[in-house]
């Protein structure tokens, strides 16, 4: 099964530990599974993609997720923990919350800041997903400019990192089936 996980609460230690545990158990060819057969391990991260926020969404992380540190502190936490997940074999892609009213947002500016942060920290996202699934034709133009593609999670089991206690609950399963039928 393929998983698309929207990483929004990376700063939360419990949430991070649960995410690492999930990844260690679900990544084919992960370091943990290949350690006995090859070093360095051969990674095949296509079955777990992490769509990760960047500091461009700092205000959202504060308002929605309850983060209390500075933007610089969040940036350091994100970089360190995303590197650890990448080292485990996770594909690090971009999750970007643009806003609810796209006509009031400079999408190119937000994407540029997010992509610059990713590249500065040695991540090369291939795909992008948008918060609340809100995007438009301008989003496609911006993606093209920054050499990313919109990821349609229609064929993946998707959830947010903070939903780890309920990822296989009946409601989450129904939500994913509904998403696959879109």
Domain of 53, CATH number, reads 3.20.20
- pLDDT given for residue 116 in this prediction: 98
Q: Is 129 exposed, middle or buried (0-12, 13-18, 19+ CB in 10 A)?
A: buried
Cα separation of 74 and 81, whole Å? 11
Helices (H) and strands (E) in the chain, counts: 7, 6
Residue identified by tokens 């990713």 is 118
Residue identified by tokens 């540190």 is 69
- pLDDT given for residue 181 in this prediction: 76
Least confident of 27-36, 48-57, 86-95, 98-107: 27-36
- Total domains, the chain: 1
Dump pLDDT digits (tens) for 95-141: 999 999 999 999 999 999 999 999 999 999 999 999 999 999 999 99
The mean per-residue pLDDT over the stretch 21-25 comes to: 91
The mean per-residue pLDDT over the stretch 69-93 comes to: 96
Cα separation of 129 and 30, whole Å? 24
Q: What is the pTM of this model?
A: 0.88
Residue identified by tokens 């939500």 is 175
Task: Tell me the residue range of the domain where 45 lies.
Answer: 3-181
């Amino acid at each position: 099964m393929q998983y698309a996980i929207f990483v929004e609460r990376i700063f939360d230690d419990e949430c991070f530990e649960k995410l690492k545990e999930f990844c260690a158990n679900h990544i084919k060819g992960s370091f943990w599974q290949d350690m006995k057969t090859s070093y360095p391990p051969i990674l095949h991260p296509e079955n777990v993609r992490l769509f990760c926020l960047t500091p461009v969404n700092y205000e959202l992380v504060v308002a929605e997720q309850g983060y209390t540190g500075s933007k610089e502190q969040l940036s350091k936490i994100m970089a360190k923990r995303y590197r650890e997940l990448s080292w485990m074999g996770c594909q690090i892609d971009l999750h970007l919350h643009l806003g609810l009213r796209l006509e009031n947002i400079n999408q190119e500016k937000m994407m540029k800041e997010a992509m610059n942060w990713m590249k500065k920290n040695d991540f090369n996202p291939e795909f992008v997903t948008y918060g609340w699934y809100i995007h438009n034709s301008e989003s496609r133009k911006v993606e093209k400019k920054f050499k990313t593609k919109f990821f349609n999670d229609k064929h993946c089991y998707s959830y947010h990192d903070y939903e780890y206690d309920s990822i296989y609950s009946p409601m989450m399963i129904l939500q994913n089936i509904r998403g696959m039928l879109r």
